[in-house]
Structure 1
Amino acid sequence: MADKKTFKDLGLSAKVLDAINKKGFEEPTAIQVMTIPVMQRDDTNIIVQAQTGTGKTAAFGLPLVEMVSTGSSMVQALILVPTRELAIQVSEEINSLRGNKDIVIAPIYGGQSIDQQLRRLQKGVHIVVGTPGRVIDHLNRKTLKLEKIEHLILDEADEMLNMGFIEDIEEIMKHTNPDKRTLLFSATIPQRIKDLAHKYMKGYEFLKVKKEQLTTNLTEQIYFEVKAHDKFEALCRIIDIKDGFYGLIFCRTKSDVDSVATHLMDRGYDAEAIHGDISQAQRERTLEKFKKQRVNILVATDVAARGIDVNNLTHVINYSLPHDTEAYVHRIGRTGRAGNVGTAITFITPSEYKGLMFIQRNAKTDIKKSKVPKVKDIIKAKKKKIYDDLTTILKEEIDTAYLSWAVRMLEDNKPEEILAAVLNYCFEEELNPDAYGEIEEIGAKVKQQLNKQGKARLFVALGKQDKTSPRKLVELIGSKSSVKSKDISEIQIMDKFSFITVPFEKAEIIVASFKEKGRKPLISHAKKDGKSTYKDKGARN
């Protein structure tokens, strides 16, 4: 069997290797081993078929960092992604891979101030990471010039196809340097993607990463739906109901890590925190304590947790929803190792349901909904542990000093009263139900109005005859309300009307935004049969 490749084997420079080391990457993934050498040859277009969660951002990001010239302030690479979240994530990831190389990377997406983006582009940017709609806006304004780019990367091409962006991609390609290299990354390669490749890529090398199961069968995956202000209380209940809890808790930001860890320590838990602002020496001391279980709870950011290798964790808890499937897979992959059974728990607020389902679909896994443990069940579990511990002690030889003490106490008191007093003295605080706060249940009234997925179907009185497309519909909604494109799914454009699906609370915002006094609303709730709640002559059965 051939030895595993290292990042050094892939021909990366010392500066990039240093950046990789600082991030904690230990060895390249399959997609990185396949893609990086081909990109570095700089002589062919590439199509890569690989699942989300396989390390593809670093696969194209690392050689891109090597190839970009800091001698010019022109845009040298454009990375197209389907969502604003992915634009931010990819931009941050490549930024973390550049080391001390003076490369400027800018994410541009709808929902962010266009003036802010204009100022950034005017100062000079080497790599642009953008969503198709906003990139076209800048092309039309002539504030983004792509005539001399050397690399065009289409990330998650099949998702962009599903979201109706394929025409936008073709439009963008018309503005690019015909001699550029194009790299297309996609989990699936449908015919429309093949057509795009044949038309614009003038020959390419096809790389396919073998499909692997992204998550282990030894990891139970569940989620809890709670209000944001109830997350910490829910976390404490989960820790307390598990005898021998030993887990990693992931937060999105360094400030969240500090806050959660501090609150846990204030409540008496053995917890520590690691993130990017903690020195390497402190990080090593903290990890050593965690690995030896001198602390049983470690709160961390994704980047800080890279390289942690512990086989016997009972839990990995996503205190905040991961940015994407790759982050989710990396996080939960730290439990269920070496034949041990583990539990991966994700907290979501009602508005994050769609994001979790996107992760579930892409990771090809099953994340089951569960209820936060009730206080009475936690107290019951604690009492059982106390009983089991005392029973174990009774089976051992008891110190004669304690036996003598017990005899003296029993002279003037009933045995059951003495035992009750001892239990009260030792465990009053631990078994006090008032130590737990209330958790607000997601309102029953709201639940009745939600369908099984926590979503609502909306009717739009615009269709193909009005020259409506998925992108135009998303932009219209964004211009009238605060609802983002990532919240809109299942867009169905008919001849005279359309349908969209959004989280329930977003539906209320959209409907309210399109109400006009004295006129029928352009957007309204769809009936159970799929039609509008309003009679509309344009709607067909």
Structure 2
Amino acid sequence: MKTFAELPLLSSIQKSLHEVGFTTPTEIQAKVIPHLLSNPHSDIHAQAQTGTGKTLAFGIPLLHAIDPSLKAVQGLIVAPTRELVTQTYESLKAVSRDSGISVEVVYGGMPMDRQIAGIRRGAQIIVGTPGRLNDHLRRKTLSLKNLKVLVLDEADIMLDMGFKEEVDEILDCAPTDRAIWLFSATVRAGIKMLIQSHMKDVFVVRAAEKGSVPTQVAQYYCIIPSRRRIEVAARFVEAAPTFYGIIFCQTKTLTSEVMEQLTNRGFRVNCLHGDMSQALRNQVIRGFKNKDFSILVATDVAARGIDVSDLTHVINFSIPMEHESYVHRIGRTGRAGKEGVAIVLVSPAEVHKIRRLEKAANTKLQEIAVPSLDVIIKVKMEAVSDFIEQAKRPDKKLTPVHTAIQELISSFAEQELRSSLAIALEERFFKDMSYEKLESARPTEEGRAPQEICIEAGLDAGLTQEMVQDYVCKTCGIDSNDIQKLRVLNIKTFIAVPENRLVACVEAMCANPILKRNPKVHIVRDEFREREGGFRGGDRRGGRGEGSGRGRYGSSSERGGREGGFGRSSSYRPTERRSEGGYFGGGEGRTKTKKGSHRRGNDEGKSRY
């Protein structure tokens, strides 16, 4: 199938597709639509990445499965977020407007009475979020007794957000002979369990390899100190005059903080996260699509459903925790045949995570340096030049103000005017520019995580930070300023000292144990898990920074410092690096490598994302 015209579609739908400009199906559409048109009652699992046209892949067959004469809910589409629900609803309305089929949308943040009225008017397809759909089912304002098809869109994200119980409740309310059309980007354990427990004779479709990365997206990583992420992100934005993109953060709190700091620097920016009201979220999305602002700071889930085809950049404020999230993020740029740029900001201790990401996503990231002041000045001078050229154009009609200004100018000397113009241009184009010198950081030990001393005892054994600090200084003969980090957790204590003192300190501490029971003392690698917030600073001795995460060891009270938590590993991959490459292209700067349950979300605007 090369075009939609080759499919046996209803004439009204064929007409709508032509009017909205859809002529050639995407890969997932070409594989799914013919099958579902011929087998509307079959269960299907379609795996494809975000932005591949999944909505029409299930939307067109669903419209054909509806009996227009039956004024009851026959199709139900469940999606994880309000933005995705709205996008799906708008897509279906666009292709079904002449079909006589009624489509209604249901999600948190909208008045219940308005939704109830829409359902009672004879809605035949409902698009909604799990939480609000269950509200209607419990109130008996939504009946699924005539349901033919249940579509679970972005099912993997739905399960990740903690909506498994809500999905199960919807399935329990649906007839046993309904068909399930399941769409996801990944196939994790939850998806497999759902298929095994609720689906039969499943037709499986894969539109692309798992974790595939768009080839038209240039991928980079920049090694910087954690506390400088804001400044560096701002530099990359300034280095791209046509920047129109998303900065992804891990937490809701951080999105607001990054937005605030970028706003203070003079950027046109807004943020999107789960704690915002629906009206405000809609306003932000509309403003971003209209380019009222060019930078959107968002969490992964909040950005689901934002369909913008001409994004130029995606900046990852930190490394995503899963490679699938990375693929989803960068897949938002480089669409519709256009090229895109994706940048990951990493600390020196995290370079080894880039290697793991490359291996998991089967891709390659190129190291890039922080844009220099010279680069930023050159970019801004191009804007200054354009401004002057525009101002040189003579007005067809001179206004009284223009005449008055000309008379005023004639009273000044040429050198005075030159000096004044230079000051005015600097104020206009360089007012918020930071002249601070920013440089890429060097990875610790050629990309390996730094080493620390670990004592197998902590708070539970009666240790305190003061006690450990005094002990280390006296036992190892070092000054307190040489203790770079000190974290006393429940059952372990981690101490960072200069690399050349590690072995001697361990030997001294083994010879003179801090406790009578002689706890084990050894060297470990500190793989910092930067779960955002690192740029805010924090106590180097383990003070709790914003977004600090749970360590691999112990309880939730075991918090990392500014770096946001930690893990430990004895394995790593050394790398050879060179980083003199230009921006967003060229062969330089390449890196050569040697060798539980989820907390339930709430689609009323209180999700953990």
Q: TM-score normalised to the size of structure 1?
A: 0.52
Structure 1 counterpart SS, 2:290: helix
AA partner of residue 9 (structure 1): E
Quote the residue 1:527 is aligned against: none
What is the CA distance between 1:181 and its match in structure 2? 1.6
Pair 37,99 (structure 1): closer, same or farther in 2 beyond 3 Å: same
What is the CA distance between 1:345 and its match in structure 2? 8.5
* Aligned partner of 2:184 among 183, 186, 195: 186
Deviations 1:218-251 (A, max 9, x none): 5257765433983994369xxxxxxxxxxxxxx9
Pair 439,205 (structure 1): closer, same or farther in 2 beyond 3 Å: same
Pair 345,38 (structure 1): closer, same or farther in 2 beyond 3 Å: same
What is the CA distance between 1:318 and its match in structure 2? 7.6
AA partner of residue 149 (structure 2): H
CA contact (8 A) 1:75 1:146 kept: yes
Deviations 1:454-494 (A, max 9, x none): 63569999xxxxxxx856x545xx8xxx8522x34xxxxxx
Pair 373,183 (structure 1): closer, same or farther in 2 beyond 3 Å: same
2:25 is the alignment partner of 1:28: yes
Quote the residue 2:157 is aligned against: 159
Structure 1 counterpart SS, 2:181: strand
CA contact (8 A) 1:39 1:63 kept: yes
Quote the residue 2:42 is aligned against: 44
Structure 2 counterpart SS, 1:215: coil
What is the CA distance between 1:421 and its match in structure 2? 5.6
Structure 1 counterpart SS, 2:24: coil
CA distance in 2, matches of 1:375, 1:217: 28
CA contact (8 A) 1:54 1:326 kept: no
Quote the residue 1:316 is aligned against: 312
* Aligned partner of 1:96 among 90, 94, 97: 94
* Aligned partner of 2:547 among 437, 443, 455: 455
What is the CA distance between 1:444 and its match in structure 2? 9.7
Pair 147,381 (structure 1): closer, same or farther in 2 beyond 3 Å: closer
Quote the residue 2:585 is aligned against: none
Q: How does 1:111-510 map to 2 (within 5 A)?
A: 111-211=109-209, 213-216=212-215, 219-220=218-219, 225-227=258-260, 230=263, 233-234=266-267, 252-253=285-286, 257=290, 259=292, 316=312, 329=331, 331-333=333-335, 337=339, 343=341, 378-381=376-379, 424=418, 428=422, 431-436=425-430, 438=432, 446=536, 448=538, 455=547, 474=601, 484-485=606-607, 487-488=608-609
CA contact (8 A) 1:52 1:363 kept: no
CA contact (8 A) 2:5 2:23 kept: no
Pair 336,51 (structure 1): closer, same or farther in 2 beyond 3 Å: closer
CA distance in 2, matches of 1:36, 1:231: 49
CA distance in 2, matches of 1:453, 1:36: 50
Of 213-222 and 252-261, deviating more is 252-261
CA contact (8 A) 1:336 1:343 kept: no
CA distance in 2, matches of 1:343, 1:79: 33
AA partner of residue 484 (structure 1): K
What is the CA distance between 1:159 and its match in structure 2? 2.3
* Aligned partner of 1:6 among 3, 7, 29: 3
CA distance in 2, matches of 1:483, 1:199: 30
What is the CA distance between 1:95 and its match in structure 2? 2.1
CA contact (8 A) 1:230 1:439 kept: no
CA distance in 2, matches of 1:47, 1:260: 38
Deviations 1:112-150 (A, max 9, x none): 333332232222312112222222221111111001111
Deviations 1:498-525 (A, max 9, x none): xxxxxxxxxxxxxxxxxxxxxxxxxxxx
CA distance in 2, matches of 1:328, 1:14: 37
Pair 208,446 (structure 1): closer, same or farther in 2 beyond 3 Å: same
Deviations 1:177-209 (A, max 9, x none): 222221111223344433433433232222222
CA contact (8 A) 2:533 2:547 kept: no
What is the CA distance between 1:61 and its match in structure 2? 0.9
Q: TM-score normalised to the size of structure 2?
A: 0.47
CA distance in 2, matches of 1:28, 1:7: 6
What is the CA distance between 1:48 and its match in structure 2? 1.6
CA contact (8 A) 1:216 1:333 kept: no
CA contact (8 A) 1:156 1:185 kept: yes
CA distance in 2, matches of 1:453, 1:83: 29
What is the CA distance between 1:85 and its match in structure 2? 2.8
CA distance in 2, matches of 1:143, 1:335: 45
Structure 1 counterpart SS, 2:46: strand
Pair 114,8 (structure 1): closer, same or farther in 2 beyond 3 Å: same
CA distance in 1, matches of 2:189, 2:167: 16
CA distance in 2, matches of 1:18, 1:325: 35
CA distance in 2, matches of 1:231, 1:345: 22
AA partner of residue 434 (structure 1): R
2:31 is the alignment partner of 1:53: no
Deviations 1:54-96 (A, max 9, x none): 2111100122223323323211111122233322222222222
CA distance in 2, matches of 1:232, 1:15: 51
What is the CA distance between 1:33 and its match in structure 2? 0.5
CA distance in 2, matches of 1:74, 1:19: 24
Going by fraction, where is helix more abundant, 1 or 2? 1
CA distance in 2, matches of 1:217, 1:47: 27
What is the CA distance between 1:446 and its match in structure 2? 4.9
Of 130-139 and 222-231, deviating more is 222-231
CA contact (8 A) 1:335 1:344 kept: no
Superposition RMSD on alpha carbons, in Å?
A: 5.3
* Aligned partner of 1:17 among 5, 11, 14: 14
Pair 55,363 (structure 1): closer, same or farther in 2 beyond 3 Å: farther
CA contact (8 A) 2:43 2:201 kept: yes
Quote the residue 1:507 is aligned against: none
Pair 161,384 (structure 1): closer, same or farther in 2 beyond 3 Å: closer
Quote the residue 1:491 is aligned against: none
Identity, % of aligned positions: 30
The runs of 5 or more residues in structure 1 that have no matched partner are: 237-250, 262-300, 309-314, 347-359, 388-417, 462-468, 489-541
Pair 483,91 (structure 1): closer, same or farther in 2 beyond 3 Å: closer
CA contact (8 A) 1:53 1:325 kept: no
CA distance in 2, matches of 1:364, 1:84: 32
Pair 46,167 (structure 1): closer, same or farther in 2 beyond 3 Å: same
AA partner of residue 286 (structure 2): T
Structure 2 counterpart SS, 1:135: helix
CA contact (8 A) 2:534 2:545 kept: no
Deviations 1:266-317 (A, max 9, x none): xxxxxxxxxxxxxxxxxxxxxxxxxxxxxxxxxxx988x86x9xxxxxx825
Structure 2 counterpart SS, 1:253: helix
Quote the residue 1:494 is aligned against: none
CA contact (8 A) 1:151 1:181 kept: yes
Structure 1 counterpart SS, 2:2: coil
CA distance in 1, matches of 2:48, 2:160: 17
The runs of 5 or more residues in structure 2 that have no matched partner are: 221-235, 237-245, 248-257, 270-283, 295-304, 316-325, 345-357, 386-412, 437-531, 558-596
